[in-house]
């Protein structure tokens, strides 16, 4: 499969799952726009590395995923630079762990904005061009938490359930336009996001770091292994292929069996 002549926008892609997805799409020949926060020198290293390694064009947008106008400008930048946005991967996400009664309302608003609303705003901006060209792939990173709940993660679980519903609705709207819309629901992937929530979970559950990893995180995954970022990225690449053109509105679990129970 080749994505040569195609272009992709991947939000939340300066590290972790998003960066792996951007690199996997570039490996298949797609130009990519990466987005996210981080040290400018680290981001530039990744951007330049993608261009050098895969021979594609890679650009960076620092668009804030809580700002609809900046999201629209990001899509416009990719369309202007590449000529099109053929693949949109909504991957931006943050996490916060707290009992509901002490969950900060500003954290709720931030998580819903970044993990859910940003996907709507990006789709809203990208769909007209995809419709005009009669081809598109919209893929969102959901989570096993789009299918099951967990305590102390009310905003994250609500947002990821929302991504699953948004995926179904938009898939039906675009079913006759050559555009597929799917989401991927990973289990626990070893990323900076997962690592950063360990201290809060230790505090909330009064557990050691090792107990959180083995008894909380991996307890849910029958394989007892973390999902890798490369495994998630491979599913994205498949969903962009012609072999997956009849797959739309799907929520694909990559969770080591977590949601099979």
pLDDT in tens, 161-183: 999 999 999 999 999 999 999 99
What's the average model confidence in pLDDT over 108-128?
98
Domains of the chain in sequence order: 7-188+228-254 (3.40.50.720)
Q: What is the dihedral of CA 96, 239, 221, 36, to 10 degrees?
A: -30
Q: Beta 7-10 vs 58-61: how paired, if at all?
A: unpaired
Within a 10 A sphere around the Cβ of 176, how many other Cβ atoms?
7
pLDDT of residue 1: 64
Asked which of 2-11, 82-91, 195-204, 241-250 is least confident by mean pLDDT, the reply is: 195-204
Q: Mark whether 188 is an active-site residue.
A: no
pLDDT, tens digit, 9 for 90 and up, residues 60-112: 999 999 999 999 999 999 999 999 999 999 999 999 999 999 999 999 999 99
Contact 171, 127 (CB under 8 A): no
Is 0.75 surpassed by the pTM of this model? yes
Q: Given 96, 152, 156, 226, which residue is catalytic? A: 156
What pLDDT was estimated at residue 216?
85
Q: Which two tokens stand for residue 123?
A: 């789709």
Are 11 and 37 in contact by the 8 Å Cβ rule? The answer is no
């Amino acid at each position: 499969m080749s994505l040569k002549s195609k272009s992709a926008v991947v939000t939340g892609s300066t590290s972790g799952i998003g960066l792996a997805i951007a690199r996997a799409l570039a490996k298949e020949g797609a130009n990519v726009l990466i987005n996210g926060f981080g040290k400018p020198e680290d981001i530039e290293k990744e951007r330049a590395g993608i261009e050098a390694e895969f021979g594609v064009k890679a650009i960076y947008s620092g668009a804030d995923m809580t700002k609809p106008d900046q999201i629209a400008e990001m899509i416009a930048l990719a369309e202007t630079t590449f000529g099109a946005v053929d693949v949109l991967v909504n991957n931006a996400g943050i996490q916060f762990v707290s009992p509901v009664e002490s969950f900060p309302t500003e954290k709720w608003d931030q998580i819903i904005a970044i993990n859910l609303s940003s996907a709507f705003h990006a789709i809203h901006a990208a769909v007209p061009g995809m419709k005009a060209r009669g081809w598109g792939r919209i893929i969102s990173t959901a989570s096993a938490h789009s299918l099951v709940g967990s305590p102390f993660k009310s905003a994250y679980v609500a947002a990821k359930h929302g991504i699953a519903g948004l995926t179904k609705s938009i898939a039906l709207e675009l079913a006759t336009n050559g555009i597929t819309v799917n989401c991927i629901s990973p289990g626990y992937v070893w990323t900076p996001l997962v690592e950063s929530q360990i201290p809060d979970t230790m505090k909330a559950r009064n557990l050691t770091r090792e107990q959180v990893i083995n008894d909380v995180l991996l307890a849910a995954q029958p394989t007892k292994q973390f999902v890798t970022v490369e495994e998630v990225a491979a599913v994205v690449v498949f969903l962009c292929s012609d072999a997956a053109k009849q797959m739309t509105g799907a929520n694909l679990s990559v969770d080591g069996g977590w949601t099979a129970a």
